[in-house]
Amino acid sequence: MRFPPRATRVGAAAALLSALLVGGTVAATPASAAVGTICYGDLPSQAYDTLDLIASGGPYPYSQDGTVFRNSEGVLPGQPSGYYHEYTVKTPGSSTRGARRIVTGEEYQEDYYTSDHYATFDLIDFGC
């Protein structure tokens, strides 16, 4: 059985929700509608490799891995600059980095997966 490398992130979704609610009510917006959830077991196998690299601190296959993700699209919850970092999830057969990424948020230790180059994100649920 494979154990998630960031098992210490149990309750990350609850912590994120609490953080969002502390500041007041959270209104549904088109951007927030693009954030769903995905079970850890439903990720593509290459995402496990990326999560393992994140947990061990690299080395990463691409120079862009670990850089600040600016959330320019506004799909993820608003956070200060530098909060999010992005990592490549390799796409078999692609001659480029492809469109798949893991984006991490450090304070609440959440991990998001996108398969469509930041158009939509799924919060990774390590409990299923």
Task: List pLDDT tens digits, range 12-45.
Answer: 444 444 444 444 433 333 444 569 999 999 999 9
Can you identify the CATH homologous superfamily of domain 7-125?
Microbial ribonucleases (3.10.450.30)
Please, is 88 exposed, middle or buried when counting C-beta atoms within 10 Å of its C-beta (0-12, 13-18, 19+)? Answer: buried
* Per-residue pLDDT at 18: 41
Task: Please provide the average confidence, as pLDDT, over all residues in the chain.
Answer: 81
* Per-residue pLDDT at 108: 83
**Which of the four pLDDT bands, split at 50, 70 and 90, describes residue 79?**
very high
Alpha helix locations (H) across the chain? 12-22, 30-33, 45-56
Q: Are 69 and 84 in contact (CB under 8 A)?
A: yes
What amino acid positions are annotated as catalytic residues?
Answer: 86, 117
Residue 1 has pLDDT above 90, yes or no: no
Measured from the Cβ of residue 28, the count of other Cβ atoms closer than 10 Å reads: 7
Q: Which of 114, 125, 24 is nearest to 76 (CA)?
A: 114
pTM above 0.85, yes or no: no
